[in-house]
Structure 1
Amino acid sequence: MLSGGVDLFLEMLAAERAAAPNTLAAYEADLTSCAESLAREGQTLQTATTEGLQNWMAALVGSGQARRTVARRLSCIRQFYLFLLREGMRADNPAAHLDSPKPHTPLPRFLSESEVLALLNACAEPAGASLAKKRRGILAKAALELLYASGLRISELLALPRKAIAGDQRMIMVRGKGGRERLVPLSDSAREAAQALLEVDAHLESPFLFPGRDPAKLMTRQAFDRILHTVAIRAEIDPARLSPHVLRHSFATHLLAHGADLRALQMLLGHADIATTQIYTHVQTERLQKAVQAHHPLAADSAHTK
């Protein structure tokens, strides 16, 4: 079924690009798959139309093949038709305007509101605990409150200076990606938790709200992860489900669920492009669907007829 053009293309790959045997076999398999699809429409690789190639790609996606696999096969086809064009075996390039499959963007993982509350409650140490353990609990509470109440990135949290929480401030200045600064609100509970940490660490005279073993340096991400792991186990939450970024996602998801504006959320999260923030609209979609079901007259009539 394959033509001489395919043979010449594979020879070129081997001679000019030193393609490995496995690569050549994969390309041949891709071209065979495309040729078989085209044959069902009365076309060949040499006579293929853009529509014929699009139908082949649609069949690949419809069969459940991974986007990465489809993208690799598309790359092969594009190279093949560029080769035919350069060699004068075709006067046009039917693959020139084929679109790559969009990469799958997974929805952000987040905790339920009750799980976040369980985490915060799990920070408390028993009355007889050592001073070191009590201090660790206070630190964990301050970190979790700030992460969840403000949507901070872990790097932004650990870099917070002590002076950011000094006084009765309602907003804190955060330096995010690219050096961009933004103001984020500070909830009463987050401020109280941070003030408690400031008091217990006053003797360290560290410039950071979350000091490391060396008070002159900030806490490492690894040290914080260990604290988070301990709190997760106490709260009976799988530590694999928990990370600082999951708390950031939880902050965004819960805000939207309670009616926050997407533009406001973009500012709070420090996203340069609102397209980054739009991943959280799955929450809005679910809320809108419930609103339609609850209030739209046709939806109500449909419910009564069931």
Structure 2
Amino acid sequence: MDELDAIWFDHHDKKLRAAGETYKRIKAAITELKNPIASEFNAQVFAAFRSQRLDTGISLNTVNHEHAYMRAMFNELIRLAVWKRDNPLKDLRQFKVQENELSYLTNEQIAVLLVELKKSTNPHVDLVSRICLATGARWSEAEKLQPQQVRQRLIQFARTKTGKARAVPISQGMQDEIFTDHAEHRNIGAIFAGCTGAFKEALERGSIQLPMGQLTHVLRHTFASHFMINGGNILALQRILGHQDLKTTMRYAHLAPDHLDSARQLNPLVFCPCVGD
């Protein structure tokens, strides 16, 4: 199957935004499968493989992603007329994953974190973190920010996860800080250098505990959660975060102060004359 993966990459994946990354993941899965003969690969083989993966502690999300990558590879090879058979994974269902409650920082935790970030010897971690808190940016989007993306008190996030550009307003003060930082450090390309480790250290110094597997992404959740708590509009939040599907954004809707308040105001008992005051 290694050869099929290479053909798929050469004809398709090179043109994708995440060029090479999906190829690496499929190649790793094929290696774990011990590079089976493509004609002998089927849903039963993959089902047994993913069961073994789960037994070794690999998460449901990871095996679902592997499933999706390989199914997409075969779909594209069929379109290219390289693969003449049905997609071997077309009828295999992915595992249902129960959505965990999203964790976000309280006002008190934000205050503690900002103090600890200021103490860091890393010159970028404080500003990168505050950009995430101010705009809902993913950590990688803020960390890889380039000067031309910042203008007129807007940050233009271009190479995003969804492929769609979005612009988020910032204060004049934050814009000035970004350009001051760039003028001082003059990094090639991006304004900032890597600072994930410094962020983790600030959390540890502040004794801020996060759920397993969550680190910098808590800042994006924190922006979205506080946006809704403070009365923000769910459709505006969708545009700010760049979610393609509103269902993704709806995870934050319950935090709005008037969430589903209309149930109390518009239920039929309110308007029924037979119901007493």
Map of 1:187 onto structure 2: 171
TM-score after normalising by structure 1 = 0.50
Q: Pairwise CA RMSD of aligned residues?
A: 3.6
Q: Which position in structure 1 is the counterpart of 2:232?
A: 260
Identity over aligned pairs, percent: 24
Q: Residue 243 and residue 290 in structure 1: after superposition, are their counterparts in 2 closer, same or farther (change >3 A)?
A: farther
| Partner secondary structure for residue 207 of structure 2 | coil
Does the Cα contact within 8 Å between 1:151 and 1:251 map onto a contact in 2? yes
How far apart are 1:172 and its partner, in Å? Answer: 1.3
Matches within 5 A, 1:23-102: none
Q: 1:171: how far off?
A: 0.8
Q: Aligned equivalents of 1:117 and 1:192: distance in 2?
A: 22
Aligned to 1:199: 183
State how far apart, in whole Å, the 1-side matches of 2:240 and 2:229 are: 15
Q: Secondary structure at the match of 1:177?
A: coil
**What is the DSSP-based 3-state SS (H/G/I as helix, E as strand, rest coil) of the residue aligned with 1:184?**
strand
- 1:283 to partner: Cα distance: 0.6
Residues 144-153 or 171-180, more deviating = 171-180
Give the 3 Å change call, closer, same or farther, for CA 290–159 of structure 1 in structure 2.
Answer: same
Q: Deviations over 1:28-74 (max 9, x none)?
A: xxxxxxxxxxxxxxxxxxxxxxxxxxxxxxxxxxxxxxxx9xxxxxx
Does the residue aligned with 2:105 lie in a helix, a strand or coil? Answer: coil
Aligned residue runs from structure 1 range 14-25, under 5 A: none
Greater C-alpha radius of gyration = 1
With 111-120 and 267-276 compared, the bigger mean Cα shift is at 111-120
Contact 1:253–1:283 (8 Å) recurs in 2: yes
Return the match for 2:156 from 173, 180, 188.
173
Preserved CA contact (<8 Å) 1:172 1:183: yes
Distance 1:291 1:244, change over 3 A: farther
Instruction: State the match for 1:234 in structure 2.
Output: 205
User: Residue 117 of structure 2 corresponds to which residue in structure 1?
Assistant: 123
Whole-angstrom distance in 2 between the partners of 1:245 and 1:145: 13
Asked if 1:149 corresponds to 2:143, the answer is no
Change over 3 Å in CA distance of 1:234–1:194 after alignment to 2: farther
Report the 3-state secondary structure (helix = DSSP H, G, I; strand = E; otherwise coil) of the residue aligned with 1:122.
helix
Equivalent of 1:274, from 234, 246, 251? 246
1:111 offset after TM fit, Å?
0.7
Compared with structure 1, are the counterparts of its residues 162 and 101 closer, same or farther at alpha carbon in structure 2 (3 Å cutoff)? closer
Q: Could you tell me which residue of structure 2 aligns to residue 140 of structure 1?
A: 125
Structure 1 residue 155, shift from structure 2 partner:
2.4
**AA matched with 1:174:** F
The alpha carbon displacement at 1:188 in A equals: 4.2
Name the CA shift for 1:232/1:103 in 2 (closer, same or farther; >3 Å): closer
Q: Is the 8 A contact 1:171 1:185 kept in 2?
A: yes
**What is the aligned partner in structure 1 of residue 82 from structure 2?**
none
- Structure 2 distance, partners of 1:170, 1:201, is 21
Report the counterpart of residue 191 of structure 2 in structure 1. Answer: 209
- Flag structure 1 segments of 5+ consecutive residues without an equivalent: 1-16, 24-67, 69-99, 126-131, 212-218, 294-306
CA contact (8 A) 2:103 2:210 kept: no
Match of 2:221 among 236, 249, 272: 249
Q: Return the offset for 1:190.
A: 3.3
> So what's the TM-score if we normalise by structure 2?
0.54
Inter-CA distance 184–101: structure 2 relative to 1 (3 Å threshold): same
Asked whether the 8 Å contact 2:162–2:244 carries over to 1, the reply is no
Give the total of aligned pairs.
179
Work out the CA distance in 2 between the residues paired with 1:252 and 1:197: 26
- Output the CA distance in 2 between the equivalents of 1:239 and 1:267: 27
Q: Compared with structure 1, are the counterparts of its residues 145 and 104 closer, same or farther at alpha carbon in structure 2 (3 Å cutoff)?
A: same
Q: What do the CA deviations read for 1:121-180 (whole angstroms, capped 9, x no partner)?
A: 22223xxxxxx92xx1x4111111111101111222232112323x6x311110212421
Matched residue SS, 2:117: coil
